[in-house]
Amino acid sequence: MAIKVNLDRVLLERRMSLTQLADRVGITLANLSILKTGKAKAVRFSTLEALCRALNCQPSDILEYVPEDSDDIRDAAE
Amino acid sequence: MINPANDSFESADIPPPPDSRPAKALGVILFLVQMALVAALIFLLGLALAALFGPVDTEIFETKEASPGGYMAAIFYAAGNLLVMIVVVWQLRKLVATLRAGDPFVPQNALRLRYIWIAVAIGELARTILQPFLERVDPGAALTINVRAHVWFFILVLIVLAQVFREGARLRAEARLTV
Distance in Å, alpha carbon of A78 to nearest chain B alpha carbon: 36
3-state secondary structure of A20: helix
What's the pLDDT tens digit per position in B147-174?
Answer: 889 999 999 999 999 999 999 999 988 8
How far is residue B121's CA from residue B151's CA, in Å, rounded to a whole number?
A: 8
pLDDT of residue B3: 45
The Cα B33–Cα B29 span in angstroms is 6
Which one of B12, B13, B179 has the shortest CB-CB distance to A43?
Answer: B179
pLDDT for B35 equals 95
- How many domains does chain B fold into? 1
Rounded Cα distance, A13 and A15, in Å? 5
Domain of B91? 20-176
- What digits encode the pLDDT tens for the residues B65-97? 556 667 777 888 888 889 999 999 999 999 999
**Stretch A27-55: mean pLDDT, rounded?**
91
> Which residues in A lie closer than 8 A to residue B5 (C-beta atoms)?
25-27
The verdict on a CB contact (< 8 Å) between B4 and A27 is yes
Contact yes or no for A51/A16 (Cβ under 8 A) = no
Is B39 inside a domain boundary? yes
Cα A33 from Cα B55, distance rounded (Å): 72
For B177, nearest residue in chain A (alpha carbons):
A40
Q: Does some domain include residue B12?
A: no
Options 3.20.20.70, 3.30.70.260, 1.10.3720.10, 1.10.260.40; CATH for A3-67 is 1.10.260.40
Q: Do A26 and B13 touch (CB under 8 A)?
A: no
Residue B4 lies in a domain: no
